A and B are shown apart, each in its own frame.
Chain A
Amino acid sequence: MKQTHTFRTDNLIAGYDQTPILHNIDVTIPSNEISIIIGANGCGKSTLLKTMARLIKPTAGEVTIGGTPIHKIPPKKLARVLGLLPQTPIVPEGITVTDLVGRGRFPHQSFMKGWSQKDYEAVSEAMDIMNITEFADRHIDELSGGQRQRVWIAMALAQQTDILFLDEPTTYLDITYQVEILDLLTDLNRKYGTTIVMVLHDINLSARYADHIFALREGKLIAEGDPSSIITSPLIEEIFGLKCTVMKDPISGSPFVVPIGRHHNKVRKHS
């Protein structure tokens, strides 16, 4: 079972080139749960995720884990607790699936040594969870988008961190693969207690898979909590500027957002 950490941000201000994108963000990530950050394009969801994972240096405030600011933890040590899968990682040319997943072992490996038994165990376990063992010796370029995304997540899993961040893990994937990836991540959370924090675009999938939602608007946190209590039509209108009606997802029971447009704006009664 994964360890519990107090992971939080205090008064976080961050952005690119002096222009702040995040304004005074205070969040505490619920340990061993799935949190999803939602918001409109450019609201700072990805920036928040990256700042929490030390990819962006905050202009003010800090990110702490167990009370220690993350920039004071040695990089390799931090990488054994906290992993992040970027939205667009780069595939090294000609690499096989196993070797790429094995790169996730970097923070556990010592100087100049080859793979240990533990490395092999972690890599094969990660590949098993992501159902990619059959592709072990294939080149990444031969795989489909969905398979490739499973390889990347396996690399992050091989890192064996207690906390896993994912920046839009389902972008560019067909709906089938989106559900598959989110199911696999849920397995991971339920089975091992991995704390998962991700940015997702799809509001309904977010509401279905999240234990906890952080809603951002223009770099400010405007709501947080479990989906069924916070996803309401006024909140969605505030975040996205979209009129909608919120129903109950008939499959999961979570809130389900149905947008209202100019052409489709009346509730139809079915008999």
Chain B
Amino acid sequence: MNELIYPIKSGRIKRQRRFLTVTIILAVLSFILAGAMLMIGNTIYPVSDVIGVLMGEDVSGASFAVGTIRLPRMIAGVFAGFAFGVAGHVFQTMLRNPLANPNVIGITAGSSAAAVFSIIVLQASSTFVSVSSVIGGLVTVLVIFTLSRSTSFSIGRLILVGIGIQAMLNAVVSYLLLIGQENDIPTAMRWLTGSLNGATTEGLYPLIVTVLIFSPIILALGRRLDMLELGEQAATSLGVNTGQTRFLLVVSSVMIIALATAATGPIAFIAFLSGPIAKRLVGAGFSGTIPAGLVGIILVLASDLIGQFAFTARYPVGVITGILGAPYLIYLLIRMNQKGDL
């Protein structure tokens, strides 16, 4: 018996080791980028100053720049990046389609449209805008799920309805931008491209709390999520309560992504890119939820640093991720077309 187990076990352990190593590297990389977010700016502060500020010491100059400006920006990037990465991975795995990320299903379009409407038409306060963005995202999900519901669950129908609703919401946003007052437009634009500008510590609490509540649920369902990949019938025969699992996963993912969108705006392509990049790096045999979240953090923080400092002008993070993501989308479409998946 042992000579039968050995080759199987050694292969599996080798893959497990790769998974763990890569995950740790991703975590370290996230940590370094988070540190860089605090150190780099108009003035570059040494590590000792940054640690001093974080420990609550009063470091002249650094306390304001690091504590009030850079720290909230970094936290917004970390939590939103993680949320987008995790939720994207959940949708892509659950629906078995690399195109099926929360953006394509229209969740973020709902958040953005509600926020832009609140800013331009209602002239609302920033708290109201955030709340309406969360509600807008959730309502859009409900509408899409209701419209795509039929006697049986169909992935294709869900994605198609999502694309349709998203197109409608985008039209609404374009119209609002046309009729809006000139001084509202810059605020509204933030909801279209996604940016870490203007993040404040207090404003981030809802996102932090939501991510801390719902991510553990998603992580705990990691193995069930992987079982769903085998298809409805195989998962059910293997003892997975597919309806309940799908419900918990969708609710949790939608919650974190709605709050992340409310905090930073829809940062383009993060939900779409993180899962596939993570999978390529860690391999397929283990739950890719945490690696996808870490890749999300890395993409957001690295893109924000590039957007802030690589060019003479400063670009919001969403512009950079958009430039990075678009070629991948095209590549994916070409590959799916060749495989006949489209």
Q: Which residues of A does B touch, CB under 8 Å?
A: 16-17, 50, 53-55, 75-80, 82-86, 88-90, 92-96, 98-99, 102-104, 106-107, 109, 111-112, 114-115, 120-121, 123-125, 127-128, 133, 136-137, 159, 165
Contact = CB atoms under 8 A, between A and B. Distances in A.
B261 to A, nearest CB: 28
Interface in B236-295: 236-241, 279, 283-285
A105 B262 CA distance: 40
A128 B238 contact: no
Contacts of A102: 12, 285
B330 interface: no
Contact of B237 (A86, A114, A125, A127): A86
B224 to A, nearest CB: 8
A75 B241 contact: yes
B313 interface: no
Contact of B236 (A55, A80, A120): A55
B216 to A, nearest CB: 11
Interface string B1-27: 100110111011001100000000000
Contact of B5 (A80, A93, A109, A120): A120
A121 B5 contact: yes
B96 interface: yes
A124 B233 CA distance: 24
A25 B50 CA distance: 74
A92 B229 contact: yes
Interface of B: 1, 4-5, 7-9, 11-12, 15-16, 96, 151, 220, 222-223, 226-227, 229-234, 236-241, 279, 283-285
Contact of A94 (B5, B241, B284): B284
Nearest to A158: B238
Contact of A53 (B227, B237, B285): B237
Given A75-B239, A76-B239, A99-B15, A89 B233 contact: yes
Nearest to B96: A90
Contacts of B223: 106, 109, 112
Nearest to B232: A55
A199 to B, nearest CB: 13
Contacts of A77: 239
A125 to B, nearest CB: 7
Contacts of A99: 12, 15, 284-285
